[in-house]
Amino acid sequence: VKDLGVILDSNLSFKNHINQVTKTAFFHLRNISKLRNMLSISDAEKLVHAFMTSRIDYCNALLGGCPASLLNKLQLVQNAAARVLTRSRKYDNITPIFSSLHWLPVKFRIDYKLLLRTYKALNGLASMYLSSLLTRYNPPRP
């Protein structure tokens, strides 16, 4: 079942969704890489964010409990996008590249989104229906 662009299966494994996102993202990345020599860094960043990052980040909070083997597929897409943007080689260390782009790896992007939503819900910055689902726990002091 496809709902709001997210492919759901009976086990909620998101395997089909991640495979589809990966396939689509690599298609767009291939096209961007063919044009990369004609683009400024600013224009290339805009294209990568429009076609790649938006797909990786869309509803990624749902992927919070996914196994690392599935998230690694999305990480490969993000790594490839960073390498196309910076014109770095396949075997260059990706950590300094992410740092220079101010990007978080996929797993940390998901964690960040979940933590941000939780913070907003606890502090009255989220929708009322979401805030009403959470209650603060104040442990008694000894």
Number of Cβ within a 10 Å radius of residue 78: 23
What is the pTM for the complete model shown?
Answer: 0.86
Instruction: Indicate the number of domains in the chain.
Output: 1
Residue 66: give the domain boundaries.
Answer: 2-131
Backbone φ and ψ for 89, nearest 5 degrees, come out as -85, 165
**Is 91 inside any structural domain?**
yes
**Is 139 inside any structural domain?**
no
Output the tens digit of pLDDT for each of the chain's 142 residues. 676 777 877 777 788 889 999 999 999 999 999 999 999 999 999 999 999 899 899 988 889 889 999 999 999 999 999 999 999 999 999 999 999 999 999 999 999 999 999 999 999 899 998 888 888 888 998 7
Beta bridge partners of 7: 2
**Is 142 inside any structural domain?**
no
**Is 94 inside any structural domain?**
yes
**Is 7 inside any structural domain?**
yes
**Is 137 inside any structural domain?**
no
CA 137 to CA 121: how far, in whole Å?
Answer: 14
